[in-house]
Amino acid sequence: MASKKNQNSFPSEVEDFFSKPGGRSLLIKGRAGTGKTTFALQLLEEITSPDRGFYLTTRVSDEAIYNQFPWLKDTEMRNRIIDSGRVLLESLIPAEGEDEVDEPVLSPDEEFRIQSARSFLDSIGDDEEGPPTVVDRTHLSDLLANCRMPEVERIYDRVDMCLPDKPLFVIDSVEGITHKYNIEPEELIFAIQKDLVEHSNTNLVLVLEKAEAPDLEYLVDGVLSLERRDFEGRRVRNIHLGKLRATEIRQPDYLLTLQYGRFKCFEPFPGDWDTRTPWEVIPDSDNKYSTGIPDLDTLLDGGFRKGSYNVIEIGENVSDVEADLILRSIWLNFVSQNRGIVAVLTGGVHPDSIREDCIRFIEPSFFDENVRIADYFQSTSNKEYVMALNREKKEAYQVWKENMAKLRGDGTKPIMDYTGFDTLEYLRGDTIAIKDLLNAVAKTKNSNDLGIGVVKPGLKLTQEIMNMADSYLKIVDIHKCPCIFGTKPKTPIHAISVNREKGFPFVSLNPIV
């Protein structure tokens, strides 16, 4: 099991915000369809206990919520929604022709015991004042002077029942209440902020139906926005932390997904995994080589086709650690099946560092026997996996030919031709590099070999490479989260994360939906 992760339900700052002493209020804004309700429901599920969390919806019925979020049916969340939605409103606003149901009347003995318990709780503690035991209704009284608002009154009643424990109440949405009773949102938020949050130890989440509300933000302790935008013709979602009072915002924006109706954000990738989990081979399909990542195999309809040339473009802001999540898996899965790799590495990557990284997960002998890395700056090498090619052309070709023959074995073993095109363009120039590429692609497609080309920003031959590729993938960094998507074939964006079950170096892809 992985000991670290870069995927959480919520940004860590939000969890820190609600863990502070006293009540906190959080305003959630965003356009329709950005995930505000999903965020609010899941927050209720994960940061408070069932008896202290309530969800009041003014926008949809209970059954509509269950249809949209099936996961609610299988948890105690159903009771919270029923209590705060249909049952709450039906008990307060009876159907036409029915009598309104009065609140249960307590006996004198029950009243005495409750008051005694509250008095005891008020008295304990040293010199510090204990948590409140009775809800403050000062500003509620002002609101009710014009008309009765049963939903708001019941919120206060629920809080009163939870004290001195800290409850969490979600109101979805603010406008649903204020439009119904013809009051201004500022009036409602000001009243419950003062009564419930500041004076009654309550955490409060307020969902807005609009994307902007500058006139309301100063009233609350925290503001976040859910946003959706296009990225190269694909959907990207993110959460923006506008303010979180008394909480350090380490990162203002996080990538998120709503896959399966669940809210999940992605923390910055840690990049300091220290593990030696043995690599487990991902089997190939009949005519495809597995990428070593089952989710990526699915995107490519089974993996890399045998005899194909496949290109991976690394974005400008993508670190080597992030790119290696994909590239390492491809290498490990291929070489651990006793297949050869002949490689021209991208600029700045040393053969020894590749070996040290790989042998954490496979036996060193697998690497040494099956990998050959071209080094055009050395004339000799005592390392079996390094081909020193700084020689006369004829001699360098002979070294290359001998090493290829050794990797082929009996002549039937496939080889991965791995090329960092920045190095190739630097060494050969763009015109000759294109000719080399054409030859490499032709040879690969007339065999069962596998071609992998790595492209970095600024190369002159990028378009030619794209045109010749059987598949073309891009690795980008979005809000410090590595992501991958295909332009050939065209796929949605997927966040790259370490597989939670197997741990590092195994990788999962999470679709941004």
- The DSSP line for 456-480 is -TT-TTHHHHHHH-SEEEEEEEETT
Q: How far apart (Å, rounded) are the C-alpha atoms in residues 218 and 198?
A: 14
pLDDT value at 70 more than 70: no
Tokens coding 314:
């690394």
Judge whether 206 and 28 are in contact, CB under 8 Å.
yes
Give the model confidence (pLDDT) of 479-498 as tens digits: 999 999 999 999 999 999 99
| Residue 87 in this model has a pLDDT that exceeds 90 | no
Angstrom distance (rounded) from CA 28 to CA 172: 10
Q: Residue 409: pLDDT above 90?
A: no
Per-residue confidence (pLDDT) for residue 125, from 0 to 100: 44
Could you give the CA distance from residue 366 to residue 339 in angstroms, rounded to a whole number?
Answer: 9
Supply the pLDDT for residue 141. 93
Average pLDDT for 463-470: 82
Q: What is the mean pLDDT of the chain?
A: 85
Nearest to 216 by CA among 247, 181, 243: 243
Mean pLDDT is highest, among 124-133, 389-398, 434-443, for 389-398
State which amino acid sits at residue 12.
Answer: S
pTM score above 0.95:
no
* Residue reference for tokens 């099936």: 70
Q: Using one digit for the tens of pLDDT, what is the confidence trace for 108-138?
A: 565 555 555 555 555 544 445 678 999 999 9
Strand residue runs (E) in 1-66: 7-8, 25-30, 53-57
pLDDT of residue 442: 75
Beta bridge partners of 207: 28, 172
CATH class of 8-94+152-266: alpha beta
In this prediction, residue 118 carries a pLDDT of 52
Q: What is the CATH number of domain 288-511?
A: 3.40.50.300
Token readout for 18 is 């609600």
Of 330, 327, 338, nearest in space to 292 by CA: 330
| Mean pLDDT of the 64-84 span | 57
Instruction: Quickly state the pLDDT bin for 211 (edges 50, 70, 90).
Output: confident
Residue 394 pLDDT more than 90?
no
Decide if pLDDT at 36 tops 70: yes
**Residue 347 scores a pLDDT above 80:** yes
The residue extents of the domains of the chain are 8-94+152-266, 288-511
Give the pLDDT of residue 91: 43
Contact assessment for residue 463 and residue 250, using Cβ atoms and an 8 Å cutoff: no
Q: Residue 92: which region, alpha, beta or left (left: phi > 0; alpha: psi -120 to 50)?
A: alpha
- Report DSSP state, residue 218: G
| Least confidently predicted of 30-34, 129-133, 191-195, 449-453 | 129-133
DSSP bridge partners of 399: none
Give the pLDDT score at 424: 74
Rounded to an integer, the average pLDDT of 253-270 is 91
**Is the pLDDT confidence value at 80 over 70?**
no
Rg of the chain, C-alpha, whole Å: 30
- How many C-alpha atoms does 312 have within 13 Å on its Cβ side? 24
Q: What is the pLDDT of residue 263?
A: 93
Residue scoring higher pLDDT (291 or 147): 291
Angle among Cα 258, 262, 267 to the nearest 5 degrees reads 70
* pLDDT higher at 499 or 423: 499
The reply to whether 8-94+152-266 and 288-511 are identical in fold is: yes
Q: Which two tokens stand for residue 396?
A: 């360098």
Mean pLDDT within 85-110: 46
Structure tokens, 184 = 């201004």
Q: CA-to-CA distance for 506 and 325, rounded, in angstroms?
A: 8
Task: Express as a percent the part of the chain with pLDDT over 70.
Answer: 82
pLDDT for the residue numbered 76: 56
Whether the per-residue pLDDT at 391 is higher than 80: the answer is yes
